[in-house]
Structure 1
Amino acid sequence: MKFSARNVFRGKVKSLKKGPVNSEVTIEMPGGLEMVATVTTQSAENMGLAEGAETTALIKATQVMLVSE
């Protein structure tokens, strides 16, 4: 598979919170870093996402904004 995203993070699904429309997926990467993604529940089911499943997060964004008081 070829893709243009430069930020690739491989890990395992730590938790999956399914909702009626969207699901929240927490991915744990080597070293303990965690990332949380929101996908449609249908997509989570189609991909077979479940706790312990291997997955890859691809991030392609022109802007990432962080704000702190």
Structure 2
Amino acid sequence: MQCYVLIKSNWVVVFKEESKQLSLRNILVGVVKSIKGGSVNAEIEIDSNGVPLCALITEESRENLDLEVGEKVWFGFKANNVILGI
């Protein structure tokens, strides 16, 4: 039996430096694969050891983080934001 893990893109938090002082317990590292900017939001595609992930952040946050394709980033999500499917 296969299990699928789903996390809505707007539930993913992106940051450039590893931090131990967060309430998030699910923190992973990855590489920015693409950035699709918009007028309000930016879609950030991340690869974490071959696992694709998409984060939806505000365009202002993207500018503040100064994200670039190929850059190492950390991302996290709360445990109660994980949806399991079988």
The question of a shared fold, defined as TM-score above 0.5 by the shorter chain, is answered with yes
- Select the residue among 45, 67, 76 that pairs with 1:26: 45
> What residue number does 1:65 align with?
83
Pairs aligned (count): 67
- The 2-side partners of 1:36 and 1:63 are apart by 14
**Aligned partner of 1:24: which letter?**
E
**Aligned partner of 1:15: which letter?**
S
Is 1:47 aligned to residue 78 of structure 2?
Answer: no
TM-score, with structure 2 as normaliser: 0.68
**Aligned partner of 2:32: which letter?**
V
Contiguous gaps of at least 5 residues in structure 1: none
Q: Once superposed, what is the RMSD of the aligned Cα atoms? A: 1.7
Which segments of structure 1 move beyond 3 Å, counting only runs of 4 or more? 63-68
Deviations 1:19-38 (A, max 9, x none): 010000001112x1111010
TM-score, with structure 1 as normaliser: 0.83
> What residue number does 2:56 align with?
38
Is 1:4 aligned to residue 23 of structure 2?
Answer: yes
Q: Could you tell me the percent identity over the aligned residues?
A: 37
**Higher RCO (CA < 8 A, seq sep 6+):** 2
